[in-house]
Structure 1
Amino acid sequence: MQVLIFVVVIVVLLLLVALTKGIRVVKQYELGVLFRFGRLVGTRSPGLRFIIPLVDVLRQVSLRIVTMPIQSQGIITRDNVSVDVSAVAYFRVVDAVKSVIAIENVHAAINQIAQTTLRKVVGQHTLDETLSETDRINLGIREILDVATAEWGVQVTLVELKDIQLPDSMKRAMARQAEAEREKRAKIISAEGESLAAAALGEASDIMMEHPLALQLRNLQSLVEIGVDKNTTVVFPAPLMSTIGELGSFLARETAAAAPTAPSDTPKAVPGPEPTETV
């Protein structure tokens, strides 16, 4: 009797263990791929699923988007510049059966092919294109990965270049180039300003030629502005000094012209009778 009870207990325990092994929970973001004696039976949707222990194998495949960083790659661009480029790829499984049957480890495979594709695509562009046309490079990498991973039931949704490391010598050269570009623009702007200023001064000189007093008023205004600082030594410009001299001469002439004529002490000669002629 005791032996029978022991056997019954053992059988119950085995049934409980088998029942535990035969219960699977497929999450909402997963899809189950069922194999029976190594042969594909089909897929199982999310929920509570029962399988036959030691007979069935249920592989649960995540359908969520996976973020995979692509480690930095040493790449030589088309113009023979060595750069280190890292990126990030986003992909998701669209066919759970293919992702299990067609390839052993889909994540490792995508990581490796993404690295080789990154080196291939960036190596076909120059350094300037790599720095300025990242959108086109990202699109090219994604298209190549899409073609390669379609047979694995995987769709690459996005690829982005994350970081581009340049050699120190190239950074210094680019800094010098940028500085030269800024100096070039500064000189052009300064020359344009000088041209506009010269044109404005030409127009002002024409107006002052028509109105001479305008130049003198401008000189006086400059003297007033200079005289604000009491410690400033004022140097009169030559045109102002000549004007002052001319003004003094003008005043002297006007004074001489306005002065009355002084009376003379010398007697005047009185005319005598005219001589008569005798025949």
Structure 2
Amino acid sequence: MEFIMFPIIFVGLIVLLSSFFTVKQQTVVVVERFGKFLSLRNSGLHLKIPVVDRIAGRVNLRIQQLDVIIETKTKDNVFVKMKVSVQFKVLQEKAYEAFYKLEYPHDQITSYVFDVVRAEVPKLKLDDVFERKDDIAVAVKRELNEAMTTYGYDIINTLITDIDPDIQVKNAMNRINAADREKTAAEYEAEAGRIRIVAKAKAEAESKRLQGQGIADQRREIARGLVESVDVLNKVGINSQEAS
């Protein structure tokens, strides 16, 4: 009798323990009864009827990030690869919609990102794509929010984290930038040379002015000395003609 009771007790214990389950923080568990939705369970310890009830799945409520790589063409026929990072989460009050209405959320988000980026980028030239990447990100976020809210998803943010043109285009851009820098350096060098020439000319002019002023002062002093000498001779009875 005891031999028979032991397996029964063991099985009963297993069934009892399987009735309890825990839900982690920032997670929602979907419970079904005979394949039909029963309830959503939030974090904590919960009880379900063994065999009758089952855990159909778990919905993550934490913020997630999906990186989408897109290759598209700009208005000036330049192919670029863009990396769009989408940060999203499931709304707790819409966990039912997120679990049952959308089977592959990442694929759905990727499709919308492709659609928006390939609609916006061909309107812009390559330089404008770099300058207006935030506008493109806003357009992606707006489109995603309109589409994904129905399925219980909230788009937190969209970021264009990388714009990578074709290698030949990047090389050409580098050459253009190098040429612009050389041109700017040449302009600065020419301006410095002009300043040096002007400064040198001003210095020479000032030197000659001071030299002329020195000669004039010297002659003035000589003339003053002669006048004083004549005055002295006149005082002793020698006239100017005799002095000359």
Task: Give the TM-score normalised by the residue count of structure 2.
Answer: 0.73
Deviations along 1:213-256, one digit per CA (max 9) or x if unpaired, are: 79xxxxxxxxxxxxxxxxxxxxxxxxxxxxxxxxxxxxxxxxxx
Pairwise CA RMSD of aligned residues? 2.7
Contact 2:145 / 2:155 at 8 angstroms: preserved in 1?
yes
After TM superposition, list the pairs within 5 Å mapping 1:124-163 onto structure 2.
124-163=123-162
* Helix, strand or coil at the partner of 1:211: helix
Q: Mark the structure with the bigger radius of gyration.
A: 1
After TM superposition, list the pairs within 5 Å mapping 1:11-26 onto structure 2.
11-26=8-23
User: What stretches of structure 2 of length at least 5 have no aligned partner?
Assistant: 214-244
Q: Which residue in 1 is equivalent to 2:222?
A: none
Q: Report the Cα distance in structure 2 between the residues aligned to 1:111 and 1:162, rounded to whole angstroms.
A: 15
Amino acid at match of 1:196: I
> Does residue 181 in structure 1 map to residue 180 in structure 2?
yes
Q: CA deviation at 1:23?
A: 2.0
Q: Report the Cα distance in structure 2 between the residues aligned to 1:125 and 1:22, rounded to whole angstroms.
A: 59
User: What stretches of structure 1 of length at least 5 have no aligned partner?
Assistant: 215-279
Q: Which residue in 1 is equivalent to 2:233?
A: none
Q: CA deviation at 1:212?
A: 2.7
Amino acid at match of 1:49: H
Q: Report the Cα distance in structure 1 between the residues aligned to 2:172 and 2:86, rounded to whole angstroms.
A: 32
Q: CA deviation at 1:83?
A: 1.4
Q: CA deviation at 1:110?
A: 2.4
Q: Which residue in 1 is equivalent to 2:163?
A: 164
Q: CA deviation at 1:152?
A: 1.3
Contact 2:116 / 2:139 at 8 angstroms: preserved in 1?
no
After TM superposition, list the pairs within 5 Å mapping 1:1-279 onto structure 2.
6=4, 11-58=8-55, 59-70=57-68, 72-94=69-91, 95-212=94-211
Give the 3 Å change call, closer, same or farther, for CA 55–118 of structure 1 in structure 2: farther
Task: Give the TM-score normalised by the residue count of structure 1.
Answer: 0.65
Q: Report the Cα distance in structure 2 between the residues aligned to 1:36 and 1:91, rounded to whole angstroms.
A: 30
Contact 1:33 / 1:42 at 8 angstroms: preserved in 2?
yes
Amino acid at match of 1:52: I
Q: CA deviation at 1:5?
A: 6.6
Range 72-81 or range 114-123, more displaced = 114-123
Contact 1:34 / 1:43 at 8 angstroms: preserved in 2?
yes
Deviations along 1:157-186, one digit per CA (max 9) or x if unpaired, are: 222233333223212211221122112212
Deviations along 1:58-111, one digit per CA (max 9) or x if unpaired, are: 3321111112222x3221112210112223222111131221122123233223
Amino acid at match of 2:47: F
Q: Structure 1 segments of 4 or more deviating over 4 A?
A: 8-11
Q: Which residue in 1 is equivalent to 2:224?
A: none
